[in-house]
Amino acid sequence: MLTSKLEVLVDFGPKVDTETLNKTLSELKAQEGIKEAVYKDGAILVETCLPSSQVLELVTSKSGKRAVLQGFGETQSAVAMISSQSCCKSQVMGVIRFQQTPEGPLVADGSIDGLTAGSHGVHVHDTGDLSQGCKSIGDHYNPCGAPHGGPSDPKGSRHAGDLGNIVADENGRATFRIVDNVLKVWDIIGRSVAVTEGRDDLGRGYSPTSKIDGDSGTPVACGIIARSAGIFQNPKRICACDGVVVWDEKDRPLAGKGRRVEDKPKRCCQQEHTEHVKPCCRV
């Protein structure tokens, strides 16, 4: 069982209730898919093979407190905030995190909302150019010049960026954890990741585009892959961009109306040079 370590901040308040903390840790460790849960340096460290969004829901339900993911993975990590980039009628938004595990495989962990129910292809693309939205991100990342395939295919029989399919439920949410043996985090930072409108046939179909993109259609959401913090690499709690603290940010949109409290518009500027500021809370 290949696991990832997650650093989960829990809003226990100024003083941690020991009874609540111990109960939370005990119940987390009893969950199938969670190998370990310990309290360390002000956060709960969870070792798991479950998707991070599922772990956050478990921590929230077991503790009765708000929880946010502060760090993902022990080694080099990356993240992409994906959206529909104004390309479509639907508003697709989500996050995909990438971790290079010590064992070698890459983990792609994500949660995406706004999709139509059913299967959707996920692919890493050549460039991080969003000047024309998802139309300018290039072809699938394919350094070996291979035909399109699936994540179970060997290196020479698939695009390196072919990550297969995710499945959205009736509410339009897809929660997933993909383990891949071809991609490496250091090769994809600065590129982009996209989710397509349809199912990827993994290069096994009869359509003329099967060996190109799995006949999965055009991207409905995409985002640039950027370097992100691993566990205990980011001790800061306020966004320098707008001064929103991590607990408030959890329940606010990424940008625009409702993001910042209007009566405190200069908080980010006032806090900008303190040790508690970080460039962007969500990454």
The pLDDT tens digits of the residues spanning 97-118 come to 999 998 889 999 999 999 999 9
Helix (H, G, I), strand (E, B) or coil at 135: coil
Of 211, 83, 233, which is closest to residue 147 (Cα–Cα)?
211
Long-range contacts of 28-32 (CB under 8 A, 24+ apart): 28/58, 28/59, 28/62, 31/58
Question: 8-31: per-residue pLDDT in tens?
Answer: 999 988 899 999 999 999 999 999
Question: 31-77: per-residue pLDDT in tens?
Answer: 999 999 999 988 999 999 999 999 999 999 999 999 989 899 887 89
What percent of the chain lies above the pLDDT cut of 70?
81
Distance CA 168, CA 181 (A): 24
Q: Say whether domain 77-228 belongs to CATH 1.10.1060.10.
A: no
Q: How many CB atoms lie within 10 A of CB 198?
A: 18
Query: Within 13 A of 205's CA, how many CA atoms are on the CB side?
Result: 16
Of 4, 74, 10, which is closest to residue 42 (Cα–Cα)?
10
User: Hey, what CATH topology would domain 4-72 get?
Assistant: Alpha-Beta Plaits (3.30.70)
pTM: 0.82
Token pair recorded at residue 131: 């000047």
Question: 144-201: per-residue pLDDT in tens?
Answer: 999 999 999 999 999 999 999 999 999 999 999 999 999 999 999 999 999 999 999 9
